[in-house]
Amino acid sequence: MRRIYISLVLISLIACQEKEKSPTAQEIVDNSIEVSGGKNYLNSNVDFDFRDIHYSSILEDGHKVLRRVITNDTSVIVDRKANTGFERFVNDSLIILADTSANKYANSVNSVHYFAYLPFGLNDRAVKKELLGKVEIKDKTYYKVKVSFSEEGGGDDFDDVYVYWFNTETFKPDYLAYEFHVNGGGQRFREAYNERYIGDIRFVDYKNYKPKVENTSIFKIDSLYINDQLELLSNIALENVKVNRGNYN
């Protein structure tokens, strides 16, 4: 009986340990945001350049305002996305845009900022998260998390599906993939590199891949990466990143 009791205790302890080692998708994202910048995302102004275009995230009256500045030989175009809507200025003059054009530009501005500050946006209200399990990539273990969006508040691309791979030791998202439906649709897989902390916020660049074979499941794209079945399309690099503390007051 004593041996049976000890065996049951050991089994219970092992079960508890295994349970502790399996956080929920929400807990994984919370930990990831914390180690990547935490509250610094909320109270910082950020500037960076991407493909010769200047981007900035600024605190105004307690709200984030996303900006993009495009400079060419004849004009300076300033796009401004705030909680009140989207505005475009050309040489300091406000331009009246059709709703379709305004939505297109606003989505473009939001997309660049979204990827620049990951994983921060993964706690937006429209985000739905599901833990798919653990996988091995390049001798490291990752939590594989599916991210989808509610139609309400999920934007024009609410039906896009994302997958993130969070390192089980650091909780940092070293890889991400997504399936999109605009412009004919497709899939992308991104590998983070050049990690650096600026103003206590984590920034990375990405190697951007697509599958060599079409019509594969987005949930199997990590296997394609492991087996060299992805094609490198581009490098996505942020330059001249600057972070300054803002103030909500």
* Full strand arrangement of the beta sheet holding 53-60: 93-95, 85-90, 76-82, 63-71, 53-60, 44-50, 239-245
> Can you tell me the mean pLDDT for 113-125?
95
**What is d(CA 49, CA 186) in angstroms, rounded to the nearest whole number?**
26
Residues 6+ apart with CB under 8 A from 174: 137, 140, 142, 165, 166, 167, 191, 192
pTM confidence score: 0.86
Q: How is residue 62 written in tokens?
A: 């307690």
pLDDT of residue 8: 43
pLDDT in tens, 128-177: 999 999 999 999 999 999 999 886 654 555 578 999 999 999 999 999 99
pLDDT of residue 150: 84
Contact call for residues 29 and 129 (beta carbons, < 8 A): yes
pLDDT of residue 248: 46
Contact call for residues 207 and 191 (beta carbons, < 8 A): yes
Contact call for residues 221 and 187 (beta carbons, < 8 A): yes
**What is d(CA 120, CA 35) in angstroms, rounded to the nearest whole number?**
11
* Among candidate residues 125, 182, 132, 127, the one with its CA nearest the CA of residue 149: 127
pLDDT in tens, 66-114: 999 999 999 999 999 998 899 999 999 999 999 999 999 999 999 999 9
**What is d(CA 235, CA 41) in angstroms, rounded to the nearest whole number?**
24
| Domains located in the chain, CATH noted | 26-245 (2.50.20)
For residue 119, whether the previous peptide bond is cis, meaning omega lies within 30 degrees of 0, is yes
The number of beta carbons lying within 10 Å of the beta carbon of residue 199 is 15
pLDDT of residue 153: 52
pLDDT of residue 13: 46
How distant is the alpha carbon of residue 135 from its chain centre? 20
